[in-house]
Amino acid sequence: MTKYTPMMQQYLRIKAEVPDAFLFFRLGDFYEMFFEDALKASKELEITLTARGGGTEDKIPMCGVPYHSAASYIEKLVERGFKVALCEQTEDPKHAKGVVRREIVQMITPGTAVNALNERENHFLGAAVQLSGDRYSVAYLDLSTGESKAAVVGSEDLMLQEITMIKAKEIILPSSVNEALIKKFQDRGMSAFSKVDTETLSFDKGLLSELEDDEVKKGISLLLHYTADTQKRALEHLQKTEQYEVNAYLQIDPNSKRNLELTENTRSGSKKGSLVWLLDETVTAMGSRQLKHWVERPLINKHSINERLNLVESLKNHFFERESLRELLQNVYDLERLAGRVAFGSVNPRDLVQLKKSLQQVPFIKEKLNEIPDEELRSRADSMDACSDIAELLDNSIDDQAPMIIKDGNFIKDGYSEELDQYKDASRNGKKWIAELEQKEKSITGIKSLKIGYNRIFGYYIEVTKSNLSGLNDERYERRQTLSNAERFITPELKEKETLILEAEEKSVELENQIFQVIRERVKKEIPRIQRLAKEISEVDVLQAFAYVSEKRHYVKPVFSENQTLNIEEGRHPVIEKVMNLNEYVPNSCTMDESRSMLLITGPNMSGKSTYMRQVALISVMAQMGCFVPADRAELPVFDRIFTRIGAADDLVSGQSTFMVEMLEAKHALEHATENSLILFDEIGRGTSTYDGMSLAQAIIEYVHDSINAKTLFSTHYHELVDLSSKLERMKNIHVAAAEQDGRVIFLHKVKEGPADKSYGIHVAELADLPASLISRANELLLEFEAEKSSQTKELSEEGQMTLFDLPVKNNQAENKVIKEIQKMNVLEMTPMEAMNELYKLQKKAGKLVAKS
C-alpha cells in the first residue's frame, strides 16, 4: 500500500470492503473507477479508458462518469447483474487534514434498485434458507414499496417455485449454501446472487414482530440484514413482514403458469396475449401490481372467493358509479412508491404534489363507494383513512407547479413561512427596483442603450458601450470590468441593492430547503397510514377492473359446487376471444362430475383441442381469483392445484429432450395431484416411438383414473386409446369436430361427445401449403397402408388370431427362449407401465420370429 499515493491508498482500503461491486469513487464532479473496475466498466459502459499516476512507475487504469448523469450508467450496470457501491466525501474539504474522508454511502444491487422501475411490476429481492431435511424458509421483499412476505415450504421444488414465481431480481442465500442449489436457480434463468453470513445478522427486529415462528423468520432475516447493510440508511417504509401459507392458495407450478400464459405469452415473453393483459383494466400502478399478485395466487377459500365475486357483481351492476370511480382513480398516483421515496429521502417537491393530489381524491372515492348499495363496499369505504391532515399540510406548503429539483427553488407557497416571505419579497422587489433604476439611469445619462446586467463573478453592473462613454461624466460610476466594445460600472446605490437582493436569494433557497426537509420528515412519520390506504385503493382498483372487463366481455358470475361438479356452458378462451372478433369465436361446454372425471379428447391438429383444455383451466383460475368468467353459465369445484403438460420444446439449457421434459412434467403432476386437482395433458407420449408413446399414454391414463381421480383433460392422436372408455368407468370420449368439403378439411372447433373418426393429418399438411406433389404422394401412400392393414385384418379373421405358440417357427430354440421369458414374468407385481413395456418387447421378438419363418 505504501507505494501508492494517500488518495489511492484510501481507494484501495474502501474497495477491499466491496470486492464484488464496482466502486464509484467520488472525486469532485466525477465518479472515478480504477484498476480492474476501470477495465471492466469501460467495456460494459463503452466509455473511454484512461490512466493516471498513483505513486507507482506504471500508470493506473482509470475511467469515470459525471456525477450529475451517473444514474443512467449505474442503471445499465445493475440491469446486467452487477453491483455498484457509491463512495462519497463525508467531510468538508475545508476542514480536512490530508485526504478528504470518504465512505460508502449506498450499495445498489439488482434487487435493491429503486429507480427506473416498471411501475406496474414489483421489484423483488428473494431469499431462501434450508431448514431440517428438505424444508426451506423463503421470503421476498420489494424495497420500492416496503412490502415483504415469508413462508416455510416443504420441499426444494416448492422453494424454487416460489422464488421463480416472483421473478426475484436478486437472491440472498446463506454463505454456507450448496453451489448445486445456485445452479438450479441459474437453470431457471436467475443470475444475481449474494451471500450473507448468518452468524452476523443485524437489523430492526420490530419488522418481524408479527411473526411467531422462528423458522419463518430465517429467510426474511437474511433480506432485512442485507437491505440494512447495503442501503446504510433508515428504512421507515418497510412494512411488518406478512407470513403466508402456500397451501392457502391455488398452486400452479411455473411450467403450468407458462403453459396457461397467465402473466406473459410463451412466444415473446411479453405481457400482451396473457391473462394479466386481458384483465388489466386497472387505473393505478399499484392496482396493476395487485392484479398480478391475484393472478399468480388465486384463492381456495370459498367464502373469500365469493366475497370478491359479490363485490365485483355490485360494481358491475352500477355502471355510472363505477365509471366515476375510474375517473377518480385516474388522479391517484403510486402511493406505495411515493412513500418509499419519502423514506429514502429521494422524494422531490413534485412527488409531494402527486401525493397531495392523490390524497385529495380519497374523500370522493369513499363517497362514490357509499353510493353503491353494498354493505361490504361501504365498510371498505368507511375504513379508508383519507389522511386529510397530510393532504392539508402539503396543500398549504407546496406549490402545484413545483419543480422536480429542490435547488431550483420557488416551490414553497407564499404565506406558509413569514421569514421566507420576507426574503422572497426582498428578492422580488429588489429585481423590480433594478428595472426601475435602469430606466432612471437612462433618463439621467441620456444613453438609451444603457442596461443593468448580472453575472456570478461580478454581480450586478451597469453596462455602457464605448461609443456612449462620453455621456457618462458622473463620479458615482465606478469601473468594474472592461470589454472589447463596452465598459461595466457599479454605483453605491446599485451595490447596496445587490447585497440585499443576493443575500435574500441565497437565504431564500437555504430556508426553502430546510422547510422542505421538515415537511418530508412530518410525512415520513405517517408512512404506515399511507401504505394502508394504498393497499385498500389497490384492491378497489382490481375489483372495479374485474367488473369493467366482465361487463365489456359479457362474463358471468361463477358458482361453486359442493360435490366437485364442473359444468361450463358455452365457455370461451378469454384471451383468444379478445384477439378474435367476439362473433367469430366458437364456444364449447364442458361437463365433469363424480361419474365423469376424465375426458379423452381426440381430433385433428389445429382443431382447437389445446385451446379447449386451456379455456377450462383459465375459467377456473379466473373464478378462484374472484372474477366473472367467459361462459353462459359456470358451476365449478374449488381446485387446490392445476397441472398442465402442453406444448413440446427441448430444454436446451438443461440438455433435456422434448420427451424428457414431457416425462418430468407428467411426473410432477402424478406425484402432487389430488382428487381436488385439475390436470391437463396434451398429447403425452408424442416425443417417442408410436408404441412406446401409446403405452405410456395408456398407463398414465389408467394411473390417474385409478389412483388419483383428479379432474383430467387428456388430448391424444392415439385413436387406439378411445377403447379405454369401455374399461375405465369415469373416462369419457369427446372430440373436436371437423368436416371435409371438396376434398379439404374444415375445422368446426366444436367439441362433441364420442371419439373422432379420423385424424385429417394430410389435410392439415395441405392447409400448411406443402407442395401439391408431396400431398398427392402422401394420399397414395395412405391408400396403400390402409389397404395393407385391411388385408392383414382379413387374413387374421379368416385364419383365427394366431398366438405366439401357433407361429410357424423353424427356430425352436428362439421360440423356447421367448416362452421362458413369459413364464418368468410376475405380472401381478408389475405396474401398468412396466407390463406395457414388457409386452412391447415380446411383440418385437415375435415379429422377428415371423420374419424368419
* pLDDT of 810 above 60: no
Please report the DSSP string for 37-86 in residue order: HHHHHHHHHT---EEE--SSSSPEEEEEEEGGGHHHHHHHHHHTT--EEE
Contact between 45 and 56 (Cβ < 8 Å) = no
Alpha helices in 768-831 (DSSP H): 772-799, 812-824
* pLDDT of 422 above 90: no
Task: Dump pLDDT digits (tens) for 83-125.
Answer: 999 999 999 888 888 899 999 999 999 999 988 889 999 999 9
Closest of 62, 58, 26 to residue 42, by C-alpha? 62
**Higher-pLDDT residue of 777, 23:** 23
Q: How far apart are CA 462 and CA 100, in angstroms?
A: 41
As assigned by CATH, the class of the 124-248 domain is alpha beta
CATH number of 418-518: 1.10.1420.10
* pLDDT of 759 above 70: no
Q: How far apart are CA 87 and CA 93, in angstroms?
A: 15
What confidence category does residue 805 fall into, taking pLDDT thresholds of 50, 70 and 90? very low
What confidence category does residue 853 fall into, taking pLDDT thresholds of 50, 70 and 90? low
- Residue with C-alpha cell 373418426? 757
133 among the known binding-site residues? no
Which CATH fold would you assign to the domain 559-757?
A: Rossmann fold (3.40.50)
CATH number of 6-108: 3.40.1170.10
604 among the known binding-site residues? yes
* pLDDT of 212 above 80: yes
What confidence category does residue 545 fall into, taking pLDDT thresholds of 50, 70 and 90? very high
What confidence category does residue 590 fall into, taking pLDDT thresholds of 50, 70 and 90? very high
Please report the DSSP string for 487-517 in residue order: EEEE-HHHHHHHHHHHHHHHHHHHHHHHHHH
> Do 418-518 and 280-387+526-552 fall under one CATH topology?
yes
> Residue type at 322?
R
With b for 16 or more beta-carbon neighbours within 10 A and e for fewer, the 284-301 pattern comes to bbbbbbbbbebbbbbbbe
* pLDDT of 842 above 80: no
Q: Which pLDDT does position 809 carry in this prediction?
A: 43
| Share of residues in the chain with pLDDT > 70 (%) | 89
Q: Which pLDDT does position 489 carry in this prediction?
A: 93
Task: Dump pLDDT digits (tens) for 327-344.
Answer: 999 999 999 999 999 998
Task: Dump pLDDT digits (tens) for 674-709.
Answer: 999 999 999 887 766 677 888 889 999 999 999 999
Which CATH fold would you assign to the domain 280-387+526-552?
A: MutS, DNA mismatch repair protein; Chain A, domain 3 (1.10.1420)
| Share of residues in the chain with pLDDT > 90 (%) | 63
* pLDDT of 762 above 80: no
Q: Which pLDDT does position 652 carry in this prediction?
A: 36
**Higher-pLDDT residue of 289, 694:** 289
Alpha helices in 410-491 (DSSP H): 418-445
Q: Which pLDDT does position 686 carry in this prediction?
A: 73
608 among the known binding-site residues? yes
Q: How far apart are CA 233 and CA 238, in angstroms?
A: 12
Q: Which pLDDT does position 474 carry in this prediction?
A: 76
**For the ranges 242-246, 315-319, 772-776, which has the lowest average pLDDT?**
772-776
Around Cβ 756, how many Cβ atoms within 10 Å? Answer: 22
Q: Which pLDDT does position 777 carry in this prediction?
A: 76
* Distance from the first to the final alpha carbon of the chain: 89
Q: Which pLDDT does position 420 carry in this prediction?
A: 92
Q: Which pLDDT does position 424 carry in this prediction?
A: 86
606 among the known binding-site residues? yes
Closest of 395, 398, 377 to residue 387, by C-alpha? 395
When the pLDDT of each residue in the chain is averaged and rounded to a whole number, the result is 88
* pLDDT of 76 above 80: yes
Q: Which pLDDT does position 618 carry in this prediction?
A: 98
With b for 16 or more beta-carbon neighbours within 10 A and e for fewer, the 235-259 pattern comes to bbbbbebebeebeebbbbbebbbbb
Q: Which pLDDT does position 656 carry in this prediction?
A: 53
Q: Which pLDDT does position 840 carry in this prediction?
A: 64
Q: What is the mean pLDDT of residues 16-30?
A: 95
Q: Which pLDDT does position 457 carry in this prediction?
A: 82
Q: Which pLDDT does position 497 carry in this prediction?
A: 83
Q: Which pLDDT does position 763 carry in this prediction?
A: 61
Q: How far apart are CA 344 and CA 356, in angstroms?
A: 18
Task: Dump pLDDT digits (tens) for 643-686.
Answer: 998 865 434 334 456 777 788 888 999 999 999 999 999 988 77
Q: Which pLDDT does position 832 carry in this prediction?
A: 56
* pLDDT of 803 above 50: no
676 among the known binding-site residues? no
Spell out the domain ranges in the chain: 6-108, 124-248, 280-387+526-552, 418-518, 559-757, 804-853
| pTM score of the predicted model | 0.83
607 among the known binding-site residues? yes
**Higher-pLDDT residue of 308, 848:** 308
